[in-house]
Amino acid sequence: MEDLQAIRRLKRGDIGGLECLIARYQGKALRTAFLITHDEQMAEDVVQDVFVRFYQRAECFDESRPFEPYFMRSVVNAALNLVERENKGYSFADEDTSELEELLEQAASVEEQVEYNTLKWQISEALAKLHPRQRAAIIQRYYLEMSEKEMSEALDSPPGTVKWLLNAARTRLRSLLGLERMAE
Amino acid sequence: MNKMTYSQILDHVARDQMAANTNLAPRILAQIQKGKSAKMNPRLKVFAAVVVALLVIGVVLMNVPGVRAAIQSWFGYVPGIGLVSEGQIRVLAEPVSVTRDGIALNIEQVLVDPNQTTVVYSVEGLTGEMLDSNPMWNTAGCYKDATLRLPAEELSSTDQIGTNWLTGYEHKTTYPAIPSTVNEVTLVLPCIRSAIPGKTPENWELAFRLVPAPPEMTAFPVIEISTPVEVTNTVAPQAATEGKLSIEGISLSLDRAVQMDDGYLLYATLHWENTGLSSVDRNDTPTMHLLDANGQEIPFTYDLDALSTMEWQPGQTSFAIRTAQIEAAGPITFVLDSIVVTAAVPIETSFTFDPGPDPKPGQVWELDKYFHVGYGHSLRVLRATYPKPPLENLPLQPGFSFDIESQTGVMQAMLYDKDHPLAGGGGGGGSFTGIFSAGFSYAGGIPEGPITVDIESIGFNVPGHWEASWTPPATTPRSTSTPQSSACLTRESWQQALKAHVSLPSNLGGKLAISDLLPPTYNYEISVVDLDGSHRKSLGFGSAPSLSPNGTRVVHVGPMIDGPSKGLFITDLASAITTPLPGTATGDMGPLWSPDGQRIAFTRGPASGLIGAPGPYNIIMMNVDGSDVRQLTQSESANYLAAWMPDSISILYTEPSRDGVTLNLMNTQTGESRVLFETNYNGTFSISPDGKRFAFEEMLPLDKYGLFVSDFEGSNRKLLADGISYTVTIPAWSPDGQWVIASVHDQNASNEFNARLALIHVDTCQIIALPKDLVGYVSSWLP
C-alpha cells in the first residue's frame, strides 16, 4: 500500500492506514529521533507522539505533498523540543580539539571494518557533544538529506540562521570525521 | 570499504545503538484510543457556541475584489498532467522504455507548455531486497532526482509527486519549460529511488522526442469562474474578548471548474491579500461542505495532482477538490466552517522583565505571565531563557527565548522587543497545542535595564462561515447509472439500519470468529461468538482467526504486544489451550483452515513480521499438525492468500499488478495457476460457500472504498456498499451464501474505534446492523 492510500484510509477512519505508515516509517523515525536525543526511550516517546499527533491531524494533511519529508520534519522538531527541554541547565563541554584531530587522522585512513566500527562509535560521541539544535541540523542535512530551504522551514528559522547552524556543525563534524573523503 | 554517504554512516551509528525491530504500533494505537473523546468533544462544544453566536450577530457580506489579478489562460486539463497553459504544446512522440537487469524505466507521458515541462515516468521490476525499506539492509538507499539533459543545459526538477507500489513507482516531475527549439531530450536518472547501492543499475539515461500535441489529445475543458463571487463571512468574537479578529478581507472563491466524465474538478481559493494576516488555510475535512441546490451534501475528495501545475500566490491558499456527479440542477455551494489563521494580537499586549545587569547565556527567568490576547484566547509566558550559542566557540547571539503555554488553543506566537534593534527571530510554535517556544535576538548586546516584550501575533483556528457558489452549465452531461446509485449499503440505508434495530431472520445464525481492539490495551484480541451475540468466548490476544470446519478449533496469528507475532497458533475452543502451530514463525499471517479440515494455508512474509514490510510474500500450505510443509508460490514480490476453494484442493491468492492486484486460482496438487480477474485494490476476497461468487473490496471514483460481489470470473459485479461516509471492509459470506457480513467504519465518528458489523443480503440488499456490542472484523463464519 502506498503512502497516499494509507493516508486516505486513515482519513476515512480506517486505523489500518496508520498501521501501514507506522510499519513503514517507524524505523527511520526512531533512528532520526535517536540521533538527536541520544536516548532510545526518548526517541520512542517522540515517534509515538508524532504518530499520534499525525493521527489527530490527518484530515489536515495536504495530499499533494509527500508524507515522508513532512513526517520526518515533525520528528526532528519533536525530538529537538524534547531534548532541549530535558537539557535545560545542562552545560555542554568545551570542545576538545585534541580529540578532533585524533578522529580526523583515524577517519582519513579508514579502510577496515574494525576501524569503521570504532569511528562509528566516535561519531556518536561527537554528535552527543553538539548542541541539540546543531545535532538536528546535522541530522536533517546529512541523514534525512534535506535541502537548506527545507531545513529552514522545518526548524522554523530564517535561512540565515540555518546556514549558520549548518556551517558551524558541518565544519565541526567534517573535521571530526573526515567524512568528505568517504562520501565523495 | 565501499564508499558511503553521510546518511548511510549516520544510519549505521543509530542502528548500532538501538534495539532491532522495535514496533511502536500497539503503544500508538492504545494512546490514540485513550485520547480520543477528550480531544474531540470540546471542539464540538466550541462549534455549537459559534453557531448560536452567528444567529445573534447576523451575517456580514463581503465581496471578493472585483478584478482578479492575472487570470491565466488554460488550454485544458490533461489527465495525468494537470492544467495546461495555452500556447505551443508539445508531447511525448511515443512512450520509451529501457530495461536493465530486469528493471524497466518507462517514460509514459511528457507535456511541455509555455510555462513548464511535466514528465511522468515509472520504474517497474523492483523487489524488496533491493530497497532500503527492507530491514535486512543496514544502510540507506539512494534518493537523487531525475534531471532533463538538453543540448545546452540540464534542467533540475521544480516539483515532484509520486506513488509507489510493491514492485515499482511512478513519479510526476515538473521542470522549467524546454525551449521550443529543443525536441530531443534525455531523462537522466542517477539511481532507482531508495535502492541499496549496488543492488540495482545506476546512471540511467533514456532519450525521448517531443512533437506538437495532436488534435485528438484528451483535454477536459476548463471553465473560468470569472464573475466575482459573493461570499458570506461571519465570525463570532467570544465573551471576555478584548479585541476583535479582523478577518474582513478573507474570502473564499471558486476559481475554475473542469468538467470531467464523472463530476467536476473544482479549484477554490482562500484570499487574505491585504489583510495583514500571516497565513490563512483551510481546516480539516469535516469543516468543509459541498452542497447541491437542494442542500444535499455532494461527496468530494482532494485531487492529488490538480495543484501540481499551479503557481503559489502570496496571500492566497488554493486547493482543488474532485466532486461526484452533480445530479441536481442549479447552483452548488462550497462552505467552510472553520479556517486556520495566524493573526495580529488586536490589543497591545506586552510585559516587562529585567534580565539584570549582567545576564549570562543559559540563564533562565521564571515569568509566569498570563495574557488575554483577544479572540477569546489566552496564553501564559512561562519563562525566558538567554540561549547559549550552539557551540561555545561560536559567536553569541544575544536574545531571549520564551516558553509559552496556552489552554485555549493558541499554537504559535510572535514576540518582539520594539525598543531595541533586533537581529532576527520573533516567531515560534507549531501545529499543535501545548508548550511552544518563541523568541528573538538583538542586533547589539542585551540591552541594559528592564525590557518590554510585545506579543505581536498568534496562530489558532477560527470558526466561522465562508461560502462560494457556482452554477454548473445546464448542458452538463449527467450519468444515467453510477455504481454509487445502486449500492445496497449507502449512507442513508446504513443510518436507517442503525435506527431500525431489526432482528435477525430466524434462519440466520452460526458462529463467528472476530478480531477486535479492546480496552485497556487496545491490542487485537480474538473471540468466537454466535451471530446473535450469545456464547461469546474470548481467546485472548491475537488476530486473523480461522475456525476449523467442525468449529472446535481456531488457527490464528499470535499476540503482537511487544513486537510481531511469534508465528501461528491453534486454540482449542473447549479447553482454551493455545499451542504453537509447528513450522510457523514471525512473519506468517492470514491462516485459513481448509474446508475439509486437513490443511492450513497462510501467507509467509519477511521475518521481521512488521506490517507492510517489503516482500517477498508467498503462500505456504501444511497439514494441521505442521507436517508436509509446501511453499505454493515463488514470488519475489507479494502473493497473499485470499481463500480456499470449497474442494480443499485449490486456493485463491493475489498478486500485485500495476493497477492493483490480480486474483489467481491455483491447484495445490498440480501447481497450475491462472488469473481470474484484476481489481484496483488489494483488500479482502471472500468466496461464497458454493464457490461461485466473490465478495471483495475495490476503489471507486473519488477514492471511495466500494464493496462488490461478482461471479467467479469477476463479471456481473454488484455494488454492495458505495463507501460514502462509511468505509465498508473485510467481507465474509454467510454459510447459506445469501448474506455478506462486513465491518463498517463511520468516517466522521470521533468516538468509535471498532467497526460496527453489517449484514447485507446480496440479492435483496436488506441491511441489518448487528448490536453495538458485536464489533470488529469477521474472518470466519460457520453454520
According to the 3-state scheme, what is the secondary structure of B111-134? EECCCEEEEEEEEECCCHHHECCC
Q: Which residues of A44-58 are buried (b: 16+ CB within 10 A; e: fewer)?
A: bbbbbbbbbbbbbeb
A15, B393: Cβ pair inside 8 Å?
no
DSSP H helix total and E strand total for chain B: 3, 55
List of chain B residues whose C-beta atoms are within 8 Å of the C-beta of residue A113: 1
A29: pLDDT strictly greater than 80: yes
- The rounded mean pLDDT for chain B is 80
For cell 558541518, what's the residue? A170
**Structure confidence by residue, pLDDT tens digits, A117-137:** 777 777 777 777 777 777 787
B118: pLDDT strictly greater than 80: yes
What confidence category does residue B234 fall into, taking pLDDT thresholds of 50, 70 and 90?
Answer: very low
List of chain A residues whose C-beta atoms are within 8 Å of the C-beta of residue B285: 11, 59
B1: pLDDT strictly greater than 50: no
Domain with A82 in it:
1-90
pTM: 0.57
The DSSP line for B715-757 is -S-EEEE--SSEEEEEEEE-TTSSEEEEEEEETT-SS--SPEE
A24, B705: Cβ pair inside 8 Å?
no
What per-residue confidence (pLDDT) applies to B230?
A: 47
What per-residue confidence (pLDDT) applies to A110?
A: 67
What confidence category does residue A33 fall into, taking pLDDT thresholds of 50, 70 and 90?
Answer: very high
A76: pLDDT strictly greater than 70: yes
B768: pLDDT strictly greater than 80: yes
B3, A183: Cβ pair inside 8 Å?
yes
- DSSP annotation of B239: T
For chain B, positions 714-753, list CB contacts with chain A under 8 A: 723, 727, 729, 745-749, 753
What confidence category does residue B583 fall into, taking pLDDT thresholds of 50, 70 and 90?
Answer: very high
**Structure confidence by residue, pLDDT tens digits, B22-73:** 778 777 776 665 443 222 222 222 222 222 222 222 222 222 222 222 345 7
Q: Which H helix or E strand runs over B91?
A: strand B90-92
Q: Which three cell numbers, joined as nine digits, stand for B370?
A: 498570563
What per-residue confidence (pLDDT) applies to B712?
A: 92
A31, B6: Cβ pair inside 8 Å?
no
What per-residue confidence (pLDDT) applies to B278?
A: 66
Taking the C-alpha atoms of residue B303 and residue B79, their distance in angstroms, rounded to an integer, is: 12
A51: domain CATH number is 1.10.1740.10
What per-residue confidence (pLDDT) applies to B298?
A: 86
Is residue A122 domain-resident? no
Q: Which of B14, B163, B286 sits opposite A59 (nearest CB)?
A: B286
What per-residue confidence (pLDDT) applies to B393?
A: 41
Lowest mean pLDDT, pick from A52-66, B5-19, B70-84: A52-66
B20: pLDDT strictly greater than 60: yes
Taking the C-alpha atoms of residue A42 and residue A38, their distance in angstroms, rounded to an integer, is: 8
- DSSP annotation of B237: P
List of chain B residues whose C-beta atoms are within 8 Å of the C-beta of residue A31: 11, 14-15, 18
SS (H, E, C) chain A: CCHHHHHHHHHCCCCHHHHHHHHHHHHHHHHHHHHHHCCHHHHHHHHHHHHHHHHHHHHHCCCCCCHHHHHHHHHHHHHHHHHHHHCCCCCCCCCCHHHHHHHHHHHHCCCCHHHHHHHHHHHHHHHHHCCHHHHHHHHHHHHCCCCHHHHHHHHCCCHHHHHHHHHHHHHHHHHHHCHHHHHC
B14: pLDDT strictly greater than 70: yes
What per-residue confidence (pLDDT) applies to B12?
A: 79
CA distances from B571 to B179, B513, B546, B560, B627 (A): 69, 12, 10, 16, 18
**Structure confidence by residue, pLDDT tens digits, B244-256:** 565 667 889 998 9
**Structure confidence by residue, pLDDT tens digits, B398-448:** 888 888 888 887 877 888 887 877 765 555 554 444 577 777 778 778 888
Q: Which three cell numbers, joined as nine digits, stand for B451?
A: 525590557
What per-residue confidence (pLDDT) applies to B426?
A: 57
Average pLDDT in the B268-274 region?
83
Taking the CA of residue A66 and the nearest CA in chain B, the distance in Å comes to 7
Average pLDDT in the B334-355 region?
85
B25, A11: Cβ pair inside 8 Å?
no
Is residue A69 domain-resident? yes
What confidence category does residue A63 fall into, taking pLDDT thresholds of 50, 70 and 90?
Answer: low
List of chain B residues whose C-beta atoms are within 8 Å of the C-beta of residue A179: 6, 9
A35, B13: Cβ pair inside 8 Å?
yes
For chain A, positions 33-62, list CB contacts with chain B under 8 A: 34-35, 40, 43-44, 47-48, 51-53, 55-57, 59-60, 62
What per-residue confidence (pLDDT) applies to B390?
A: 44
CA distances from B305 to A4, B82, B421, B579 (A): 12, 6, 45, 50
Taking the C-alpha atoms of residue A177 and residue B505, their distance in angstroms, rounded to an integer, is: 74
Average pLDDT in the B256-267 region?
88
What per-residue confidence (pLDDT) applies to B762?
A: 94
Nearest to B567 by CA among B602, B523, B619: B602
Is residue A123 domain-resident? no
Is residue A55 domain-resident? yes
Q: Which position has the higher pLDDT, B73 or B580?
A: B580
Q: Do residues B465 and B347 touch, judged by C-beta distance below 8 A? A: no
- The rounded mean pLDDT for chain A is 68
What per-residue confidence (pLDDT) applies to B202?
A: 94
Taking the CA of residue B184 and the nearest CA in chain A, the distance in Å comes to 30
Q: Which of B391, B460, B704, B727 to mutate to test the interface with A (most CBs of A within 10 A)?
A: B391
Taking the C-alpha atoms of residue A125 and residue A118, their distance in angstroms, rounded to an integer, is: 11
B731: pLDDT strictly greater than 80: yes
pLDDT > 70: what percent of chain B?
78
A27: pLDDT strictly greater than 80: yes
What confidence category does residue B155 fall into, taking pLDDT thresholds of 50, 70 and 90?
Answer: very high
B31, A31: Cβ pair inside 8 Å?
no
List of chain A residues whose C-beta atoms are within 8 Å of the C-beta of residue B363: none
Q: Do residues B36 and B751 touch, judged by C-beta distance below 8 A? A: yes
Query: Strand pairing of B288-291 and B332-344?
Result: antiparallel
A38: pLDDT strictly greater than 80: yes
**Structure confidence by residue, pLDDT tens digits, B356-388:** 988 988 899 999 999 988 878 889 999 998 877
Nearest to B618 by CA among B21, B127, B25: B127
Taking the CA of residue B727 and the nearest CA in chain A, the distance in Å comes to 7
What per-residue confidence (pLDDT) applies to B270?
A: 87
**Structure confidence by residue, pLDDT tens digits, A174-184:** 444 444 333 32
Q: Do residues B88 and B95 touch, judged by C-beta distance below 8 A? A: no
List of chain B residues whose C-beta atoms are within 8 Å of the C-beta of residue A63: 302, 304
User: What's the angle, vertex CA B753, arms to CA B558 and CA B742, rounded to 5?
Assistant: 75
Average pLDDT in the B596-625 region?
85
What confidence category does residue B302 fall into, taking pLDDT thresholds of 50, 70 and 90?
Answer: low
Q: Which position has the higher pLDDT, A114 or B547?
A: B547
B268: pLDDT strictly greater than 70: yes
Q: Which position has the higher pLDDT, B688 or B11?
A: B688
Whether B11 contacts chain A with CB within 8 A: yes
Nearest to A119 by CA among A173, A65, A163: A173
Q: Do residues B535 and B573 touch, judged by C-beta distance below 8 A? A: no
B203: pLDDT strictly greater than 80: yes
Nearest to B777 by CA among B738, B741, B746: B741
Q: Which position has the higher pLDDT, B128 or B251?
A: B251
B390, A134: Cβ pair inside 8 Å?
yes
pLDDT > 90: what percent of chain A?
4
Whether A9 contacts chain B with CB within 8 A: yes
Average pLDDT in the B469-479 region?
66
Strand order in the sheet with B660-667: B640-644, B650-657, B660-667, B673-679
Taking the C-alpha atoms of residue A130 and residue A95, their distance in angstroms, rounded to an integer, is: 9
B481: pLDDT strictly greater than 60: no
Is residue A98 domain-resident? no
What per-residue confidence (pLDDT) applies to A111?
A: 64
Is residue A105 domain-resident? no
Q: Which of A3, A12, A134 to mutate to test the interface with B (most CBs of B within 10 A)?
A: A12
Taking the CA of residue A9 and the nearest CA in chain B, the distance in Å comes to 9
Q: Which of A13, A91, A92 sits opposite B727 (nearest CB)?
A: A13
For cell 467497526, what's the residue? B755
Taking the C-alpha atoms of residue B664 and residue B545, their distance in angstroms, rounded to an integer, is: 23
HSE, side-chain direction, 13 A CA sphere, residue B238: 17
Is residue A71 domain-resident? yes
Strands, DSSP E only, in B606-687? 618-623, 630-631, 640-644, 650-657, 660-667, 673-679, 685-687
B231: pLDDT strictly greater than 50: no
A160, B431: Cβ pair inside 8 Å?
no
**How many structural domains does chain A have?**
1
Average pLDDT in the B716-726 region?
87
Is residue A154 domain-resident? no
A156, B430: Cβ pair inside 8 Å?
yes
Q: Which of B28, B304, B405 to mutate to test the interface with A (most CBs of A within 10 A)?
A: B28
